[in-house]
Structure 1
Amino acid sequence: MAEVLIQKIWMYDLMIVTNELELEELSEKLENHLIESKASWLKIHFTFVYYSIFKYNKFKNLENFCNDIIAKHPSIIFESTEFTSLHESALVSILKRDDLQMQESVIWDYVIKWGTAQNQVYPRNWKNDVMNKIKPYKKILDKQLLKDLEQHFILPDQPIKSIILSKRLILSQELPARVNEPFSTIISEEHIAIFSSWIDNRPSFYSRNNPYEFQLLIRGSKDGFSPRIFWDICDGHVNTIVVTKVRGTDEIIGGFNPLAWDKTKIDHMKTNKSFIFSFKDGNIQDSILSRVKNENDALWYPPLKSKYGPIFGDCEFTMVSYVSDFTQDKLSWCSNYNCYEKSIRTNNDKFSIIDYEVSLYLYFRKVVYQSYYSFTMSL
């Protein structure tokens, strides 16, 4: 994870440096490349990117990219812990959006929150009703606007004299379903805590303060079950957890790969950090963890990527389909060879799956944001 993070940050830094050197054409090309090819990285590191671009006030394409996301999902910035440190120009840029999907009264609350953070001298003991959110700030409001506001709450249908913007458009349709979907349809928060503990080689499981955040990359039932889809989507991603739900047994079987998946490579992959696992009936109390023993054969990136998905060790956990659908043919299996400490199944029977997911884990993401943001702001 750190290696990929550094690579992407290096590209972002290069864009900043070329801009400071007034190499505008190169800077713009790098900016567009980040948007077109590294959109997932920009979204994962959204807070860092958004807060930093306004320091330079040059990257309008990135600004528009971020504002389009904020318009649909304003909570990503308004509910962030760094909201009150948002640059004034950034806040103004957001408020100018007519398609911001948030009620005006809620936006006003956030504007007051931001404003009071900039000036700590603000009224005390004021209530939460709408009028009391306005009256304490009458000194900064136009007199006519203040009168119109008071009139509006008494006679809302009467015309007002102040010139104001038209009402913000709130879309009636629901936001994409995936936003409200559970993180996983296979595993629970308890499983995630266990994975995090295994990654850290902890003797006990994280009960709270889990330092890892998991981001879903693939869900078979949504993205498709062909091996080729697995390689195309996972290509280049490091530190991933693969989980499958076995048809007929409800076992959860999977593995952790700290290395980057590479759809162009055909080779045995070396690492001493990978592991495979199983949960009988999905029960967290009945788990088997098997760490890599032969690090030179920790994983195998096969030549036939149209038929083979992930292969851990010497097929000690492998997903296979000759009909481009892991759910249709019973060819996936877990061998009992010696690349890993022990077998994660009690038999060598081949199986098909109900569903599978691949998730990317992010280590201390918030700390990385804040530390790197502080570093770049000091340059």
Structure 2
Amino acid sequence: MSFKFFDKLSQDFSELLNDKKECNVIIEVDKGENKKSFTSHSVVLRYRSTYFTKELENTATNENHVKTIIKPNISAKIFEIILKYIYSGVVDIKNIETKTIYESMIVSNELEFEELSEKLESYLVESKASWLRTHFSLIYHSIFNSNKCNEFKGLKRFYNDIITKHPNLIFESEDFTSLQEVALISILEKDNLQLEEIKIWDYVIKWGIAQNSTLPGNLEEWSEENFKTLKVTLQQCLPLIRYFHISEKDVWEKLKPYRNILGMQLWDDLNQKIIFPNQPVKSLVLPERIISNPELPRRVNELISTIISEEHVAEISTWIDRKSTNYSLENVPYKLQLILRGSKDGFQPKTFWNMCNGHAGTVVIAKVAETDEILGGYNPLTWDNSKTQDTYMETNDSFIFSLKNGNIQNSILSRVKDQYSDSALYYYDSNSQKERGPCFGDCEFLLQSSVSDFTKDKKCWCIYGPGYNYYYEKSIRTTDDRFSIVDYEVFKIVKK
């Protein structure tokens, strides 16, 4: 029989972390003004981490018998969490924002704390699915940056399941061509990837060409060496294409120009299959992908937005209908139809007016650079880019908002005031549209840029301060500072 006193042991070791008497290791993390040094004990580090065992073996001791390990890529905030775990075996995530939990998982994996990394990964998948979907592109790319195929298996399964159902999320993303080869292969291996085979082929070719910047832009100018280069780049991907399930028309129009990378046997077999469809071929014939529903009806808002979550859509829907209690995720009466996404369509103010012209009942969502803020506004009216002069627009039903996210603990709803309903929105003339996008009230939510790019010059604005005569009930920010955005989206709100 054994008596175990793990709680007391953990408490004692936690106190040891603050005992400087016999510390013989300094760990410097972060950089610039955030740089910070932590003291530790080599014996603890060695027995807790194979990573630190190797680091200590390769680090020289100074005249005071102290070793210094420098990790500028790890933030002080994250390392403080990791160091407490090293000494006490405790990580309290109760009041930690999701982004910090994710970053802690990445760092604990790098430092070879497998137990902690896997625990945090499981927590994210099981409890923070909406956040993971909202930050899809960032996380999907980062988890495949590692060369170790056994890392982040849970997250990879989570995202690959999403991509299987909605492949355009990755294939049509701005950073698709920077996707790691191992990630692309994992997608192509899916038998139930919901995408036509010829489109998959097009994306694979696009990715392969992007990896070789020296390839001529005009295919007619390609040499035999150019095709060889592309073939080598795609050697792991080409065998995963289901060639024999591509139409005859597409074989001739899309595959024929690249027949040099297919190999003579495969090209001959494709031709044979067209002429003699019942004759066996020598090439491997992979099964046709299982497309359950070509139209792929989505859930209420699953992954339509790269900025907001399902909970946010339920909240916005509640505000539109002026309900006193939030809709549940199952009862949201609206679906989102994407009109514009900055990272896909561009951040020029004129793009907003051109693409949103004629659309009514829309919501604008913007993510502020360098903060956790998600700001937006709902416009029940029709956007109109044909105004010959700047014009105020009247409605009682518009509102602006800030959504709960990261460090932002609570959402803010601000409806247009009844006495200012005739100034709820501001539509610009064609000349002003070169610099200004959507504007609610008297600059109470405004996207603008003097360099025709909302992400560049910190000109976007939500007025704040006692000197302003607000057209909406309250400010959605607590600062009058101008800002840039990292992305924005415009959706049409449609009844299910």
Q: TM-score range by the shorter chain?
A: 0.5 to 0.7
SS of equivalent residue, structure 2 residue 112: coil
What is residue 229 of structure 1 aligned with on the other side? 326
Tell me if the contact between 1:71 and 1:97 (Cα under 8 Å) persists in the aligned partners.
Answer: yes
Q: 2:275 aligns with which of 154, 161, 165?
A: 154
Query: How many Å separate the matches in 1 of 2:399 and 2:196?
Result: 43
What is residue 348 of structure 1 aligned with on the other side? none
Query: How many Å separate the matches in 2 of 1:75 and 1:172?
Result: 15
Larger radius of gyration: 2
What is residue 332 of structure 1 aligned with on the other side? none
**Alignment CA distance shift 1:343-1:132 (3 Å):** closer
Tell me if the contact between 1:100 and 1:170 (Cα under 8 Å) persists in the aligned partners.
Answer: yes
Offset from partner CA, 1:278-308 (integer Å, 9 cap, x none): 54598756975596xxxxxxxxxxxxxxxxx
Cα distance, 1:238 vs structure 2: 5.2
Q: 1:254 aligns with which of 399, 402, 409?
A: 399
What is residue 203 of structure 2 aligned with on the other side? 110
What is residue 359 of structure 1 aligned with on the other side? none
What is residue 99 of structure 1 aligned with on the other side? 192
Query: How many Å separate the matches in 1 of 2:467 and 2:285?
Result: 70
Gaps of 5+ in 2: 1-95, 222-248, 333-371, 381-393, 428-438, 445-465, 474-482, 489-496
**Alignment CA distance shift 1:160-1:280 (3 Å):** farther
RMSD over aligned Cα, in angstroms?
A: 4.7
What is residue 23 of structure 1 aligned with on the other side? 113
Cα distance, 1:79 vs structure 2: 1.2
Query: How many Å separate the matches in 2 of 1:255 and 1:283?
Result: 11
* Letter matched to residue 125 of structure 2: I
Query: How many Å separate the matches in 1 of 2:415 and 2:301?
Result: 30
Tell me if the contact between 1:231 and 1:262 (Cα under 8 Å) persists in the aligned partners.
Answer: no
**Alignment CA distance shift 1:342-1:113 (3 Å):** closer
Q: 1:37 aligns with which of 127, 149, 152?
A: 127
Q: 2:416 aligns with which of 277, 291, 294?
A: 277
Task: Please state if 1:11 is matched with 2:101.
Answer: yes
* Letter matched to residue 175 of structure 1: L
What is residue 314 of structure 1 aligned with on the other side? none
Query: How many Å separate the matches in 2 of 1:117 and 1:223?
Result: 43
What is residue 296 of structure 1 aligned with on the other side? none
Tell me if the contact between 2:301 and 2:313 (Cα under 8 Å) persists in the aligned partners.
Answer: no
**Alignment CA distance shift 1:94-1:281 (3 Å):** same
* Letter matched to residue 277 of structure 1: V
**Alignment CA distance shift 1:217-1:161 (3 Å):** same
* Letter matched to residue 229 of structure 1: N
TM-score, normalised by the number of residues in structure 1: 0.54
Query: How many Å separate the matches in 1 of 2:100 and 2:318?
Result: 35
Tell me if the contact between 1:72 and 1:100 (Cα under 8 Å) persists in the aligned partners.
Answer: yes
SS of equivalent residue, structure 1 residue 365: strand
Would you say how many aligned residue pairs link Structure 1 and Structure 2? Answer: 259
Tell me if the contact between 2:177 and 2:206 (Cα under 8 Å) persists in the aligned partners.
Answer: yes
TM-score, normalised by the number of residues in structure 2: 0.43
Offset from partner CA, 1:127-165 (integer Å, 9 cap, x none): x96335434544443433221112233344544332221
SS of equivalent residue, structure 2 residue 401: strand
Q: Which portions of structure 1, spanning 4 or more consecutive aligned residues, are displaced by more than 6 angstroms?
A: 212-215, 221-225, 230-233
Task: Please state if 1:176 is matched with 2:297.
Answer: yes
Q: Which has the higher contact order (CA 8 A, sep 6+)?
A: 1
SS of equivalent residue, structure 1 residue 55: coil
* Letter matched to residue 123 of structure 2: H
Tell me if the contact between 1:98 and 1:169 (Cα under 8 Å) persists in the aligned partners.
Answer: yes
**Alignment CA distance shift 1:225-1:35 (3 Å):** farther
Cα distance, 1:39 vs structure 2: 1.9
**Alignment CA distance shift 1:157-1:223 (3 Å):** farther
**Alignment CA distance shift 1:290-1:145 (3 Å):** closer
**Alignment CA distance shift 1:69-1:177 (3 Å):** closer
SS of equivalent residue, structure 1 residue 256: strand
Cα distance, 1:27 vs structure 2: 0.4
**Alignment CA distance shift 1:221-1:17 (3 Å):** closer
**Alignment CA distance shift 1:276-1:148 (3 Å):** same
Offset from partner CA, 1:162-202 (integer Å, 9 cap, x none): 22210011122632356799x99xxxxxxxxxxxxxxxxxx
Query: How many Å separate the matches in 2 of 1:110 and 1:143?
Result: 22
Query: How many Å separate the matches in 1 of 2:298 and 2:425?
Result: 28
Q: 1:364 aligns with which of 485, 490, 493?
A: 485
Query: Percent of aligned positions with the same letter in both sequences?
Result: 41
Cα distance, 1:15 vs structure 2: 0.6
What is residue 164 of structure 2 aligned with on the other side? 71
Query: How many Å separate the matches in 2 of 1:224 and 1:31?
Result: 37
Offset from partner CA, 1:230-264 (integer Å, 9 cap, x none): 7999xxx954547597xxx962143434773549x
Query: How many Å separate the matches in 2 of 1:230 and 1:137?
Result: 52
Gaps of 5+ in 1: 1-5, 185-211, 264-268, 292-337, 346-361, 368-379
Tell me if the contact between 1:47 and 1:77 (Cα under 8 Å) persists in the aligned partners.
Answer: yes
